[in-house]
Amino acid sequence: QVQLVESGGASVQAGGSLRLSCTASRSTYLYCMGWFRQAPGQEREAIAAISSRTGSTVFPDSVKGRFTISQDKDKNMVVYLQMNELKPEDTGVYYCAAGVWTVTCGTVGFPYRDWGQGTEVTVSS
C-alpha cells in the first residue's frame, strides 16, 4: 500500500497556473499514477495519468494542452500536475491515485488502489 499526500491547491484567477504535488510514502516506479478532480456536485473525473516506468501520459480532451503530469525521476516518489490557463470549470478537489501498473494504465476503469485526501483548487473568473 502507498500513502499519498497532495499539496499545492490554492485560489487563483482564470488564466493563471498552479502546480500540484503528490508525495508518496515510497517509490512508485512500477505504478500507474493518476490525478482526478471532483467539482462540487459532480462525479470524480480522471484528468491525467502517467506510467511511472515508461513516462507515458494520458489526458482527457478537457485538459489536454493545458495540463501536464510528470514525476521526479530520482526516487519516483513525487508526481506533479502542472496546470496552466486555468478556467473556472477547473475548480474542484484534486486527488492523486496509485495503482500497480498494467497495460491499461490511464484507461477508464483502471483499478487505482490507493488515494490521497485531496487538495482544493478554486479558479475565479
Q: Which residues of 62-77 are buried (b: 16+ CB within 10 A; e: fewer)?
A: ebeeebbbebeeeebb
Which cell numbers hold the place of 38?
Answer: 471532483
- Give the CA angle between residues 114, 104, 21 to the nearest 5°: 40
- What pLDDT shows up at residue 117? 97
User: Is 63's pLDDT higher than 90?
Assistant: yes
Burial of 88 (0-12, 13-18, 19+ CB in 10 A): exposed
Residue 73 confidence (pLDDT): 85
pLDDT at 123 over 90: yes
Using alpha carbons only, give the angle 90, 91, 95 rounded to the nearest 5 degrees. 90
Q: What's the whole-number average pLDDT of the chain?
A: 95
**Each residue's pLDDT tens digit, 67-90:** 999 999 888 899 999 999 999 999
Model confidence at 44: pLDDT above 90: yes
